[in-house]
Amino acid sequence: MLLSVNIFVSLDGVMQGPGAPDEDRSHGFSRGGWLVPHASAHTNEVVESWFREAGAFLFGRTSFGLLGGYWPKVTEPGNLIATQLNTLPKYVVSSTLTDEEAGWSPTTVLRGDVVDEVRRIKELPGKELQVHGSWKLVQTLHRAGLVDVYRLLQYPVVVGTGKRLFPDGSMPATFATVEDSSRVLPGGVVSLTLKPAGLGAISAGEYVVDEGRSVTVLD
């Protein structure tokens, strides 16, 4: 299975609480709901395209609780996102969640080493193993080099504080843009699809003047 990370993010990289003021107030966060004024039929179309590729879902404990408290209540016929989330296999990483508490069926609780467990699941046949939200989990997967593709909707908002997709201290990485899946939507939201092109270091260079000309020199 290909592992994809699918995230709503602000201009300053914040991914916390995009959908409601009380969605995630951890660490005193009080700016939730920043995505909603910018949602549109165009962003919904992109998100639905993500979910069409799903074969299973992987969540951290907090995101599992948030999504599991919302989407089972969506019974609208033909709602693609609800159908996928409510029917496809789900995996949640937690050392404290019991099988009984993980009542959003079908769900498997992963209690072992996260990296080993995810490597095992990725070897299974099927469509994508998708991560949505799950801030801490995304950091772990990024450091381990397990993410095959990042899909981002970047909104024209500076939140100013909150959990960032790539916080200070993140593993350096270089990405390649998937051109036919990346574009600016009406309203200024940017849809980006990125594939890791190098983990652990970034290339560098400099501009120098050579015989009066400004030239680029790469390391």
pLDDT digits (tens, 9 = 90+) for 169-204: 999 999 999 988 899 999 999 999 999 999 998 989
Closest CA to 146 of 43, 30, 58: 58
Q: Distance between CA atoms of 72 and 74, rounded to whole angstroms?
A: 5
| pLDDT mean over 8-36 | 96
For residue 44, the surrounding DSSP H or E stretch is helix 41-52
Question: Residue 163's pLDDT is what?
Answer: 97
CATH class held by domain 3-218: alpha beta
Question: Residue 37's pLDDT is what?
Answer: 97
- The tokens for 144 are 């381990």
Residue type, 13: G
Which residues have a Cβ under 8 Å from the Cβ of 212 and sit 6 or more positions away?
none
Residue type, 110: L
| pTM over the 0.75 mark | yes
Q: Distance between CA atoms of 146 and 3, rounded to whole angstroms?
A: 7
Question: Residue 100's pLDDT is what?
Answer: 86
For residue 48, the surrounding DSSP H or E stretch is helix 41-52
| pLDDT mean over 90-97 | 94
| pLDDT mean over 67-77 | 94
Q: Distance between CA atoms of 34 and 9, rounded to whole angstroms?
A: 10
Reply yes or no on whether the pLDDT at 206 is more than 90.
Answer: yes
- The tokens for 204 are 């560098």
Task: Identify the weakest region by mean pLDDT among 35-39, 102-106, 139-143, 189-193.
Answer: 102-106
What are the residue boundaries of the structural domains of the chain, listed by start? 3-218
Residue 165 burial by Cβ neighbours in a 10 Å radius (0-12, 13-18, 19+): buried
For residue 80, the surrounding DSSP H or E stretch is helix 80-87
Question: Residue 219's pLDDT is what?
Answer: 81
Three-class SS state of 204: coil
Question: 110, 98 in Cβ contact below 8 A?
Answer: no
Question: Residue 99's pLDDT is what?
Answer: 86
